[in-house]
C-alpha cells in the first residue's frame, strides 16, 4: 500500500542521483521498492547496540520478506565508536561473508552509524551499494544526505574519509518517537543551522512554534525535515565535493568540531557542540563587523536556549579547543575557515581569520 504522506526530495547528481524518502511508517514501502535497483538479494545491516534492539529485527524481517539473505554487524553506540578500528572490524565481517559487489549495505542508525557504514561500503571492493536509514533527527536532516562518510581520529573529527553517495535515504519519522530527548535537541541544532544559512521562513516557523517543534509535534516535524533536506539536496547537487558553496553547511562546525575533539567526544553530542559553535560564529561575526542584522545573535541564542541546548563552553576547554582548531579539516594554510552569519538566512565564508580575533571570540564564549 502506498503511503499518501510520503515525501520525496531528489539529490540531483546525474547518474548518481538519488531520493530522500520522508514520512511516518514508510520502511515497508521503502524495502518493497528494492526491486527498482539491480542488486543481489544480500543485505549487510550495520547498526549500533541501541538502535538495533529497537528496529533491527523489524528491518531484517522486512528485508527477509523481500527475499534477501541478511548479515548484520552491531557496533557500540556513541561517537567514540566511529574509529578506524571499528571500520576495520566491519570490513573484516564483510570479507568473512564474502559479500559480492552487488550486495548492499543498510546503515540503520544515527550519524555515527551512517558515517562509518558509508565509509566501509565505500572501501569494500572499491564500493558497494549503500542505503541510509537514519534514526535520529540530526541524521535525517543532515548526515545521511550528501555522501560525506568518515571516521574520527584523536587529532580531529572526520579527518579520514571520502565522498560516497547512497542509492536512497529512508527517513522514517516514526523512529524518532523513541529518540531520547537529548538526542532530539541535538538534532534541532542542525535544523537551526539550515534556517540560519538559507531559510528565513523556516527560522520564523521555528521561533513561532519552538515548543511544538521541541515536543515533536507531527504537524511540524515532516515539514521541518523536508525543508532541511531540500536545502542540503540543492547545495550538494551544485557542489558535491565541497569545492565552494557546500562549505556553508559547516556553519557552527569549526568551533563545534574543535570542542568535540578537545573533549575526546565524551562531553557533547555533535548537535550540542554545533549549537555552541553557531553562537561562537555569531560572536566572531560581531568582532569582524560581518553580522549586519541587529539582534540576530540574540535571537539565535534565545532559540537554542529555549531548546535547552548549550550556548557557551567551560573555561577549561578554551586552550584545548584553540589547539584543535589547527587540525580542523577546513584549515587552509594553517588558517581556519569560518562560516559567519550576515543575517538570519544569509552567511558568508571567511578565510584567513586572524587568530587574535578567534581567541577573543572563544574567550567570550566561555562560561562566566
Residues annotated as catalytic are: 126, 148, 190, 232, 242, 246, 250, 253, 257, 270
Among candidate residues 166, 221, 205, 183, the one with its CA nearest the CA of residue 37 = 166
- Alpha carbons 43 and 73: distance in angstroms, whole number: 11
- Alpha carbons 123 and 117: distance in angstroms, whole number: 10
- Alpha carbons 329 and 162: distance in angstroms, whole number: 12
> Is the sign of the CA dihedral 61, 62, 67, 70 positive or negative?
negative
DSSP characters over 96-138: HTT--TT-EEEEEESHHHHHHHHHHHHHGGG---EEEEE-SHH
Q: CB–CB of 228/190 below 8 Å?
A: yes
Q: CB–CB of 271/190 below 8 Å?
A: yes
Among candidate residues 183, 83, 179, 187, the one with its CA nearest the CA of residue 144 = 187
Ranges assigned E (strand) in the chain: 7-11, 18-23, 42-48, 69-75, 104-109, 130-134, 148-153, 156-163, 168-172, 338-343, 346-350
| Residue position matching grid coordinates 564564549 | 365
Pairing of strands 148-153, 156-163: antiparallel
> Is the sign of the CA dihedral 58, 63, 67, 68 positive or negative?
negative
Among candidate residues 268, 243, 247, the one with its CA nearest the CA of residue 321 = 268
Q: CB–CB of 285/294 below 8 Å?
A: no
C-alpha cell at 365: 564564549
Amino acid at each position: 500500500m502506498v503511503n499518501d504522506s510520503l515525501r520525496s526530495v531528489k539529490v540531483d547528481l546525474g547518474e548518481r542521483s538519488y531520493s530522500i524518502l520522508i514520512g511516518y511508517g514508510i520502511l515497508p514501502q521503502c524495502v518493497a521498492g528494492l526491486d527498482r535497483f539491480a542488486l543481489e538479494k544480500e543485505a549487510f545491516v550495520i547498526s549500533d547496540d541501541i538502535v538495533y534492539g529497537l528496529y533491527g529485527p523489524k528491518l531484517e524481517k522486512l528485508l527477509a520478506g523481500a527475499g534477501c539473505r541478511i548479515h548484520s554487524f552491531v557496533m557500540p553506540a556513541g561517537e567514540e565508536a566511529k574509529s578506524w578500528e571499528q571500520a576495520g572490524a566491519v570490513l573484516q565481517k564483510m570479507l568473512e561473508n564474502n559479500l559480492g559487489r552487488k550486495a548492499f549495505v543498510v546503515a540503520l542508525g544515527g550519524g555515527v552509524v551512517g558515517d562509518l557504514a558509508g565509509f566501509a561500503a565505500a572501501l569494500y571492493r572499491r564500493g558497494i551499494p549503500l542505503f541510509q536509514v537514519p534514526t535520529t533527527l540530526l541524521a535525517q536532516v543532515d548526515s545521511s544526505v550528501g555522501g560525506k562518510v568518515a571516521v574520527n581520529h584523536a587529532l580531529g573529527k572526520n579527518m579520514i574519509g571520502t565522498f560516497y553517495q547512497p542509492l536512497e535515504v529512508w527517513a522514517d519519522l516514526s523512529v524518532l518517537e523513541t529518540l531520547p530527548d537529548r538526542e532530539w535537541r541535538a538534532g534541532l541544532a542542525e535544523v537551526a543551522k539550515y534556517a540560519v544559512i538559507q531559510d528565513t521562513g523556516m527560522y520564523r516557523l521555528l521561533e513561532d512554534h519552538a515548543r511544538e517543534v521541541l515536543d515533536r509535534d507531527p504537524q511540524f516535524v515532516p515539514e521541518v525535515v523536508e525543508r532541511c533536506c531540500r536545502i542540503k539536496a540543492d547545495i550538494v547537487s551544485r557542489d558535491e565535493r565541497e569545492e565552494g558553496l557546500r562549505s556553508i553547511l559547516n556553519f557552527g562546525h569549526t568551533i563545534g568540531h574543535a570542542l568535540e575533539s578537545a573533549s575526546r567526544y565524551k562531553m557533547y553530542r555533535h548537535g550540542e557542540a554545533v549549537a555552541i559553535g553557531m553562537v561562537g560564529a555569531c560572536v566572531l561575526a560581531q568582532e569582524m563587523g560581518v553580522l549586519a542584522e541587529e539582534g540576530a545573535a540574540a535571537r539565535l541564542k534565545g532559540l537554542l536556549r529555549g531548546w535547552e541546548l548549550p550556548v557557551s563552553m567551560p573555561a577549561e576547554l578554551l586552550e584545548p579547543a584553540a589547539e584543535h582548531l589547527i587540525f580542523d579539516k577546513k584549515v587552509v594554510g594553517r588558517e581556519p575557515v569560518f562560516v559567519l552569519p550576515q543575517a538570519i538566512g544569509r552567511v558568508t565564508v571567511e578565510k584567513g581569520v586572524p587568530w587574535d580575533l578567534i581567541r577573543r571570540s572563544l574567550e567570550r564564549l566561555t562560561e562566566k
